[in-house]
Amino acid sequence: MKLPHTVAISSITRGLRVTTSLTASSSFAATRCLHTTKPDRTTWAVSDSSPGSPASSASPVVSPVASSQAPVLSCLPLAQVLRTYFITSVSSSPLLLQTCLKTLRAMVDSSSPVTSVEKNPLLKLILRETFYKQFCSGTSQAEIQRNVQQMRSIGYSGVILEYALEVLADAKISDTAKDVDIWRNGLLQTIDMASPGDFVGLKWSGLGPEALQLLKQQKPPSALMDDAMREVCTAAAAKRISLLPAAEETTTLPTFHSWCLNLQKDYNRGHSVVYSTYQAYLKSTPATLAKHLSLAKTEDFTLGVKLVRGAYLASEPRSIIWPDIGSTHAAYDALAEALLKKQFTGLLQPLHGSHAFDFADINLVLATHNANSVRKAQSIRAQQAAQNDSLVPLAYAQLQGMADEVSCELIMAGKANQALSNGKNVDIPRAYKCTTWGSMEECLNYLLRRAAENKDAATRTAESRAAMGAELRRRFKSAFRLI
């Protein structure tokens, strides 16, 4: 059945936008770097160390499944490998990408029966089999659930599901009650389609222009908004689904965290129904996180932490962000390590007067396409499992259609650990894909908005293309018994 397209879910994708690097000797041995804009080569570049910053994470980390017999990308269907190779071949070229985005925008906006996506069946079929299938999970409930099941069969633990249609928070004309209703209904529909253990992505600003103004003015949500937020939280809790609100620019960040924490106090008891997003590229994040950990400990609730690098480099004051990408990598890894170990160490220090070992109960999502960061987290988890330490509930998140080599490495590591456990305590990584659902037109509009916000990040996919090319060559040789 077709679902009504009245939804206001946005994206954790802003926090997940990254670029990748790949060495010739390993499918993913090099560090990936974030971001939305072309870096300043003198400051915003990968470096081994940065004065006044934590140790850099630029050095490669050995793959936990490097010796595995099964190639990492062998778990992907051939059609997906081919499609990813084609799309990354386009996106890794700035000229091709710009031409492609302009063409897609013209198709979406066209009313001509020849060039309109919705009116030309052949054009619609081509786009469905390429861009739509690459990044989106479907239009109908049956199609979405079928595609999600296929992801689970590959080895993913679940999905982060979000709807492509957004309430545009900067719209000049709005009806607050209608905006809130669209947001509520969309999230409830998405929760209905998700399975226990899945996540649902959202934005508080998706509640409409009035919500965005309240966020900027550091005010609480209106009674109408609060009712909708709590109805969504109650529905998610009843189905054992977690909500991942996406952080935006720092102009709204204090209120964003306030809204998240107020809901966590009521809903996060032993399990995080609501998370909050922490952007590692902000110098203020360690102190913010320490403050929230102290609050969670004092008020006895589980702090849901989604750790991202950040995606607003172009619009934020440069002074509030780490001076280079190496420092951001190091900050991300240092925070991840402290959270995984539940220890105040390195960048993460307790509030003045707090006891250093008085750590709150947490649930953690590492939302990153950075292979080194993922491997470092796995290494920590492996050591903890070997020592029979208590493990923080952890999920890894990447976007559908991107960083499959990182996601599949997690899947293969999980399979290898499970096969070799022999009753031992081992860590089985939980990998999730963030996937969008909606009609062709809704999803293309959604993807075009994301690409416009992250033009430079979209071009940094040459390494993923190389990984897919290597996998295609391996399969070709294997088919003709050349290996």
Give the pair of three-digit tokens for residue 479. Answer: 């088919």
Angle at the Cα of 317 from the Cα atoms of 316 and 322, rounded to 5 degrees:
90
- Contact 246/11 with Cβ under 8 angstroms? yes
How large is the angle between the packed helices 404-420 and 462-479, nearest 10 degrees?
60
pLDDT, tens only, 328-370: 999 999 999 999 999 999 999 998 766 556 899 999 999 999 9
Q: What is the pLDDT of residue 170?
A: 59
Alpha helices in 342-401 (DSSP H): 371-386
- Contact 289/308 with Cβ under 8 angstroms? no
Distance between first and last Cα of the chain: 46
Query: What's the rounded Cα separation, in Å, for the pair 216 and 194?
Result: 31
- Contact 236/242 with Cβ under 8 angstroms? yes
Taking the complete model, does pTM exceed 0.75, yes or no?
yes
pLDDT, tens only, 97-134: 888 888 888 888 888 988 888 888 998 898 899 889 99
Give the pair of three-digit tokens for residue 268. Answer: 């996060």
Query: What's the rounded Cα separation, in Å, for the pair 255 and 252?
Result: 6
| Contacting residues for 180 by C-beta, under 8 A, at least 6 apart | 207, 208, 224, 225, 228
pLDDT, tens only, 413-472: 999 888 877 777 889 999 999 999 988 888 888 888 777 655 555 555 777 888 999 999
Q: What is the pLDDT of residue 101?
A: 84
Which residues does the chain have with pLDDT short of 70?
A: 1-69, 166-173, 353-357, 452-460, 482-483
Alpha helices in 136-197 (DSSP H): 141-154, 176-193
| Contacting residues for 318 by C-beta, under 8 A, at least 6 apart | none
Query: What's the rounded Cα separation, in Å, for the pair 49 and 324?
Result: 10
Phi, psi of 289 (to 5 degrees): -65, -40
Q: What is the pLDDT of residue 90?
A: 84
Q: What is the pLDDT of residue 455?
A: 54
* Positions of E strands within 203-290: 242-245, 276-279
For the CA atoms of 371, 374, 376, 379, the dihedral, rounded to the nearest 10 degrees, stands at -120
Q: How far is CA 483 from CA 70, 235, 475, 480, in A?
A: 13, 52, 9, 8
How large is the angle between the packed helices 325-341 and 285-299, nearest 10 degrees?
20
Query: What's the rounded Cα separation, in Å, for the pair 10 and 202?
Result: 5
